[in-house]
Chains A and B, each alone.
Chain A
Amino acid sequence: MSGHSGESFAELPVAPKPPLRRFHQARWDEPIIFEQSRPGRRGIAVPAAGVPAVELPESVRRAEPPKLPEMAQLHVLRHYVRLSQENLGVDQAIAVGQGTCTMKYSPKVNDRFVNDPKVAELHPLQPDDTVQGVLEVYWRLERMLAEISGMNRVSLQPASGSAAIYANIAMIRAYHASRGEGRQRDQVITTMFSHPSNAACAKTAGYEVITLMPDENGHPDIEALRAAVGPRTAALMITNPEDTGIFNPRIEEFVSLVHEAGGLACYDQANANGLLGITRAADAGFDLCHFNLHKTFSTPHACGGPAAGACGVSEALAPFLPGPTVEFDGSGYRLDNGRPQSVGKMRPFLGVTPNVVRAYAWVMALGAEGLREVAETAVLNNNYLMHKILRIPGASAHWDGGRVEQVRYSWQGLFEETGVHSEEIGVRAADFGVHYWTSHHPYLVPEPFTLEPTESYSQEDLDEYAAILAHVADEARRDPEHVRGAPYNQTVHKIDQTSLDDPKQWSPSWRAYTRKHLA
């Protein structure tokens, strides 16, 4: 006789899984950390001074202790572990929904390298001979990125992709100034579907920005470029393929036109994942380019950084690189601060070292053949997913023709029919455990969504993602209010965001919240 008595209510074998995952995000209903505080508790002990105390003059002494939470260690840990569970990383989700971001697998072994004290406990101003290992990683990664881009030198200093765009702008500015044309060349040309940071960084650096709009085929209008270039042109800042996923086949002519006018051509390679080993910035004549190590080269996105950028430049631009550079004399590596024309510091020290180490290890795990396989698979995955998405009624891709590694799609048809916005589709899709992103500026494609599957996802993953979107689109037709009421399976329910734009109500900190709403 078994102890499992009672009436049977389910049978073996266990039934097959339903077509869509019955996902529910973790819901710990966690209070704000301040609400868990109890006076006198502590999360960690600090070494006592052990030497005579210093009396501070009143002018600099803190009057009131900061109202930080007081918690025991387990409870701090538990709070944050719960919050982490209420988050979706690449490690859990099919992260193909955040187009332009190149969400790929970040190999776990690479985290080990950066957590090693041989990286984590290095001070950036140690003598060069005590950091030969890390300098070699910098130098070797620079050489590898130079080969991948065809450029002469590469700086790994910028803290992100946009910071790399800004560093490139700074070099462009210094280059023209060195030739006495700094004042004259005050315009930067970009395209509508280049990443918006190109225009934004150029404006930050003081440039007037001229934008080329897409023509009927979705390509930037080359005749417009011809009309725009001239003695005031400092540079063309262009993404290719653009954020639409469309490769500009006349890119070499674009570069030539700018060169003929005395300007520089700068390639935003944020969308390089489909091009590794296929085509190179230098071969199209570019003077500068940049990569995002957290996109193409696998370093984790970390909820929005730390990231890392890499600026590649031609020989003519090399004197202007941010300093210091890493130099190799055949036997050892050293930091070189002796570049009089350098634009100087873009950020503290040499770069975001942990991500430089991860990117290096990633390339070393793949090699030339592996990188090409990354590119080809990313492009295959994208075209496969596009094939599936375009079969969903109400979904479309704006322009005809091929796509490289991502696609900006549109729900215009679905929206006109149902009034359900792309944003609402995304929130509902998250109920099935996936991310979804509409797009950033420019809002040219109506009701947009941007998918970029990268090489990391399996065919089954892509099928699942497409099935989720098809299901939600179908729901939007059958019961639009159900879609609009989402989310249902998330940590929290639908958020009323209206107070966030009202100065009397908004609460950008607990301090502001308690003052405005709990006083």
Chain B
Amino acid sequence: MSLLSVRDAAQVYTTRRGLFGGRVDVRAVDGVSFDVAPGQTLGIVGESGCGKSTTGRLALGLERPSEGSVTFDGQAMPAPGTADWRAMRAKMQLVFQDPLGAMDRRLTIARQIEEPLEIHGIGDKAERAARVAALLVDVGLRADHGLRHPHELSGGQRQRAVLARALATNPSLLVCDEPVSALDVSIQAQVVNMLTDLQAARGIAMVFISHDLKVVRQVSHQVAVMYLGRIVEQGDPDALFADPAHPYTRALVSAIPVPGPRRLERIVLAGDPPNPADRPTGCAFHPRCPVAIARCRTDTPALRHSPCGRMVACHLVDTETRIAA
């Protein structure tokens, strides 16, 4: 039984081109489906602008999908801003990329961790204070850190404080949007370890959005690779990173720095990710794909189970079991 279920979700933004230009639809997310079970982590990776964050916002119900549906615990997501929606916030929380921006710089850390409890009317004053103290310990902060203002903490401590606030209401789903990319590498490892420990202890379902493949590999039970608003490959992280099937995933994985001699040839993609407002026909990846065939220009490949045991959206993976690298 999955906790979060996203079905064919698409998010379309409308922009104007130039002063007198017509309206242009930008499909930031285009038909994404996934499930997350309690205690499991789905990692979402992809380049900037591929729709990772929008997918996260759709999963949290912060935005309503233009198409498709999002269900949480068997219920459809209520419209943002309604009383039902507000009440539901206690069960699902977002961890931000920029912890300093996500905190009110005028309030002490303890006050901010207490805020979700206050909003959802959990406990009386003494109970809330005890819960805040327990949360500070859970995320590895000391009691006196609670008395400080956000600017008086280091980056890693701030991210811990943001995490404590997100965990205050005991949510069953956590969406982490690039939670460690603003931290330096040594702190990243600490925060990631803490996240997985907390998840194991509390059975939280997690959507972990990142462009850092190493971190995603470490935390995820499932990985989805996104390109231009679509999932191109999804499956077990170890298998996916060891033996990527989609040409885009292969290029992505080959970019991971490894010590010593490379096992895989470094694949350097030509060109930039295309403008989502001007999506290539067929497979969106075909202009940059080293192995594209004529069919890729016309037919959009669907995300299908492939012989390698993962879901892959590529015509070539369907026809042959492996493509010559």
Q: Do A and B bind each other?
A: no
Chain A positions within 8 Å of B, measured between CB atoms, are none
Chain B positions within 8 Å of A, measured between CB atoms, are none
